Amino acid sequence: MASTQSKQWYQRRVHGKIKIAGTGFGDCSNVVFNVGTEHTCVVDGGGCTSTEVSCTVTKTATMHRIQNTGRHFRFGPGYVWEPATLTVRPGDEVRWSWNLPVPQEGTGIAVHSTSSASTNEYDGMGFNSQTKSSKGNLVYQFMTEGTFTFNTQDVIEGEEVFMPGKVVVAAPSEDEIVAIEAFIGDIAAETIVGGSVSGPTAVGCSFADSSCATSAPGTASSLE
């Protein structure tokens, strides 16, 4: 039998350490903690005893898609990104997928990051699929907040058809209350409202990744 006592967690831009008390953790080799639906708490090296776990909250990447399904005013569908503006959270991934309706010589899509919305040139720092192709995809993970513009090479050679867009990476504007769930293998903890445990700590946070969080009234969980 193993049991855990944990608290709900107020998270805005969670990226810190928390401590979870309980019994029966063993060496934590098979223990997983979920913080809401978008974060996990990875057990720190040397941070596990049979009665207490120290772990670091990390974002579980959500995959978002951008496709060339928008309609160009002149050339029709396939030459505009959809959505052209996408909002994600820090740590999420974006997949650009494209399939031109009429593949032909000189046409193709190669997507890359740009320094601003006013240019179609690669900024030399971010993502770049490099070679034009009529069908393909590119995946990139955004770790920091901000607005990231992107564009393409000339899709139809000589026609100056470009496909601009932007990804807005933003943490939640307000605190959210999420529950901490414990799993040992495939066995989930039963949450019992009203337990008590010492408050988690939030240390080692950085603004670039996420800020810290504070604890809410406690819950107690058990595994059998």
3-state secondary structure of 92: coil
Could you tell me the end-to-end alpha-carbon distance of the chain, in angstroms, rounded to an integer?
Answer: 5
Joined together, the tokens standing for residue 211 give 């800020």
What's the pLDDT tens digit per position in 121-140? 999 999 999 999 999 999 99
Q: Higher confidence at residue 63 or residue 19?
A: 63
173 has pLDDT over 80 = no
Q: Say what the pLDDT of residue 190 is.
A: 63
Give dist(CA 182, CA 170) in Å, integer.
28
pLDDT score at 198: 42
Six-digit token string for 99 = 């399939």
pLDDT confidence of residue 224? 30
Cut 0.95: pTM above it: no
Helices first, then strands: H and E counts in the chain: 0, 18
Q: Which two tokens stand for residue 154?
A: 């000339």
Nearest to 122 by CA among 114, 131, 110: 114
Which has the higher per-residue pLDDT, 117 or 189? 117
Percent of the chain with pLDDT over 70: 77
pLDDT of residue 191: 53
Q: Is the per-residue pLDDT at 204 higher than 70?
A: no
Which 8-state DSSP code applies to residue 210? B
Structure tokens at 12: 């805005």
pLDDT of 15 reads 55
Check pLDDT > 70 for residue 85.
Answer: yes
Report cis status (omega within 30 of 0) of the bond before 83.
yes
